[in-house]
Chain A
């Protein structure tokens, strides 16, 4: 499909200087209403980048989440809590990995099942200043 020239140019203008790797969305049972997107972001620009949001047509709500361990480290019987944060900052050159055991891009209230490996899910990342990154995430089982 041919993109109208104007919107293509706009997308270029607003694209953040960031390198994406290892992107996927975790396949979950068809009854699940939550999943998450995982990836590594690397700030390849000269200024700090601040990730402020995630959204996807696959979920009604996208949230930036961190995982927080309560209590002393090393105790397997400590509680773990997920906590929503408003943003993630990346200094120039800095990498940030979202992984199942830590920070993740939560997709909540899924609009349809994400149980089929091989599906592709559009993911949009918003950065402070209006930069937008549109990605297509493959659905795959956690490794």
Chain B
């Protein structure tokens, strides 16, 4: 009598594991493919490829020496001035609202930095009152930075930001013409994208951009 060749029966759970691995690999592949074909639909205008955000130094709203070293936190950077009646208040209001939509952990890793393009009038004390009004979270303080001229001009230029005095007919009073972009810089210090102030009212999409960059 001869024994029939042994039939190896694969236990059912091993088959199940193989099946799950196969499905996971397939889904992963599809996801990867989709991501490569169709990267995250950013709302802001992206820097492709990302660029290193230029560092700069000045004083913060507490008159302490401040150097912007983007490493560590995701940063929304805006160049504005405190005599600005509309765009700057609007921008800071929206950025603060978006901050409030992030999770507590994300808020800890997020900062809003306001650099004055009017350092002559925007003293640290002036900036303190300004960012203290628009930044409503004590845990995630809004920063106001005074960078004196002529360094400011170089800093602005390095970000592609522009500003110029616009006289309103008086010697002591003037308004500033300025670029109105907010720059999003990731925690590694890479400039990832910018939003125009007219885009910021779409809090949901601005938030999604920030959270994507934080990943």
Interface size class of A (residues with CB under 8 A): 20 to 34
B166: contacting residue among A33, A81, A100, CB under 8 A:
A81
Chain B residues whose CB sits within 8 angstroms of the CB of A31 once the complex forms:
82, 125-126, 129-130
| Contact B161 A77, beta carbon cutoff 8 Å | yes
Tell yes or no: B89 within 8 A of A by CB: yes
Tell yes or no: B194 within 8 A of A by CB: yes
| Contact B195 A67, beta carbon cutoff 8 Å | no
| A102 and chain B: residue at smallest CB distance | B86
B202 → chain A, closest Cβ, in Å? Answer: 12
| Contact A80 B194, beta carbon cutoff 8 Å | no
With A31-B82, A81-B166 in contact, do A100 and B89 touch (Cβ < 8 Å)? yes
Which of A39-76 touch B at CB < 8 Å? 63, 65, 67, 70, 76
| B133 and chain A: residue at smallest CB distance | A29
With A76-B196, A100-B90 in contact, do A34 and B178 touch (Cβ < 8 Å)? no
Tell yes or no: B173 within 8 A of A by CB: yes
Tell yes or no: B179 within 8 A of A by CB: yes
Chain B 14-30 against A: per-residue CB contact (8 Å), 1 yes, 0 no? 00000000000000000
| Contact A26 B89, beta carbon cutoff 8 Å | yes
A63 to B169, CA, bound (A): 12
| Contact B89 A76, beta carbon cutoff 8 Å | no
